[in-house]
Structure 1
Amino acid sequence: MKNYKASYIEMKAAEGQTEKFAGFLSDAAPLVKQTEPGTKLWFALQAPENKLAIFDIFVDEKARNAHFSGAVAGALNKNANTLVAGGWDDGVVANIHNSSVLSAKPPADLYSATTATYIKLKAAPGQGENLAALLSAAGSIVADTEPGTLFWVALQIDGEHFAIFDIFAGEAGREAHFAGKVAGLLNQKASALVEGGWEKGVVANVNNYDILAIK
């Protein structure tokens, strides 16, 4: 999965539209499966306070471009003024974060997953390459030591911005992950590598979601 591409879109439902927006995203998964062969993985996600998100993995840049010009993106564009706070431009496009995959634990038991986590990281000044190196090495550690982590991927957005996305069958898997070797290594190195250190740079940027649908 190294050299694959990814995108993450965090959105707010328009007032009174949370249930309909969640239903729209849940219904989109089969359409992604039918029409987007280059979209390797696609997740519809929901968190409290009307927050929803899409996270996806693509085999290459061409596949990512095809996704954003595809049927699901077109349907979201058509319905964004009703469903999304800010509409299409301010509520969707402005919140797209594209990235490249640094390392991953390949998905296992994918459709048993119920929860997901997305963590935004900003490298401390001058530490982008070192943080990238740590994240690049972490995929194999997760694969070897975390059976409860059903999928894990480290991402590079640009020279100083990074992210981690992972999924779990339930809270026990998530708790085991945050008590595991990679979390411990990141905790140990965060004061040097991550702006804000462990508490303000990592923990404060954890976004937990329930999974609505998976492709």
Structure 2
Amino acid sequence: MKTQILQTVAAMVLITTSATAQDNPMENHTASYIAMPAAEGQTEAFAEFLAGAAPIVRDTEPGTVLWFALQADETLAIFDIFADEAARDAHFAGAVAAALNQNADALVDGGWDDGVVANINNSDVLSVKAPVDLSTATTATYIKLEAAPGKGPELAALLTAAGPIVADTEPETLFWAALQIDETNFAIFDIFADNSGREAHFAGQVAGLLNERAAELVAGGWDDGVVANIHNFDILAAK
């Protein structure tokens, strides 16, 4: 039965792309992801800095729709969704970015230029499951995907069609976004209340579909192109 479902979904991916794009509740939104290594001995201080930034974003950045401060061991990260490119520009010109710039030499391995700016990944939002119950979220996943040669449009189509499937079949996935960085690079970001939600997601229809088509669509296939690029985080704070 599961194989039949996946085959049906796969057949529908290309023909449903335009419809799902029109139904995307974050159409024309943009995103940014920045993974930053903490300077030696500064992991706790850096985490406290990012956690304290959430109220500032909430109070001063109306165009920042979602903002997450994340931590995985000594790596800190920020993921955010913006209403449009102007809102993203406003974020990078805002109070939190300015404070991070001022403190980067102390907190970030590589400082502002090599530790922050060099790690910015800007993207367009292809498809989402709209956020629900964000106050219960404790954990997040970011996966960067490189399309196999010539397969960028097909991978984009699959990811675009996946948002409504996640929304319909994954109640424990509190937010899910498919992102396009450029013609060949893509990403998935999602959040969960706990690890059981993440496990349900990776046992779900979209993960199964991506697994079945990874050898064709993703550079490195499932193991080296998807699984090897999974980054799990604890959520420190959110807008």
Amino acid aligned to 2:42: Q
| Shift of residue 2, structure 1, vs aligned partner | 2.0
Map residues 26-175 of structure 1 onto 2, 5 A cutoff.
26-48=51-73, 50-175=74-199
In the other structure, the counterpart of 2:216 is: 192
- Give the distance between the partners of 2:173 and 2:229, measured in 1 at CA: 19
Match for 2:46 among 15, 21, 24?
Answer: 21
* Superposition RMSD in Å: 0.3
CA contact (8 A) 1:2 1:104 kept: no
Q: Which runs of 5+ in 1 are unaligned?
A: none
Displacement of 1:210: 0.2
Paired with 1:166 and 1:12, the residues of 2 have a C-alpha distance of 21
Superposed displacement of residue 111, structure 1: 1.1
Matches of 1:3 and 1:68 in 2, distance apart?
18
Segments of 4+ in structure 1 off by > 4 A? none
Deviation per CA, 1:39-70, whole angstroms, max 9, x where unpaired?
A: 0000000002x101000000000000000000
Could you give the per-residue CA deviations for residues 1-52 of structure 1, whole angstroms, max 9, x where no partner exists? 122000000000000000000000000000000000000000000002x101
Distance (Å, rounded) in 1 between the aligned partners of 2:186 and 2:69: 21
SS in 1 for 2:198: helix
SS at match of 2:155: helix
User: Using the alignment, how far apart are the partners of 1:34 and 1:98 within structure 2?
Assistant: 23
Name the SS for the 2:144 alignment partner.
strand
Q: What's the secondary structure of 1:14's corresponding residue?
A: coil
Q: Percent identity?
A: 73
Q: Aligned to 2:236, which of 207, 212, 215?
A: 212
* Greater helix fraction, Structure 1 or Structure 2: 2
Separation of aligned partners in 2, 1:99 and 1:150: 21
| Paired residues, number | 214
Provide the rounded CA distance (Å) in 1 between the counterparts of 2:228 and 2:135.
28
DSSP-derived class of the 2:207 partner: helix
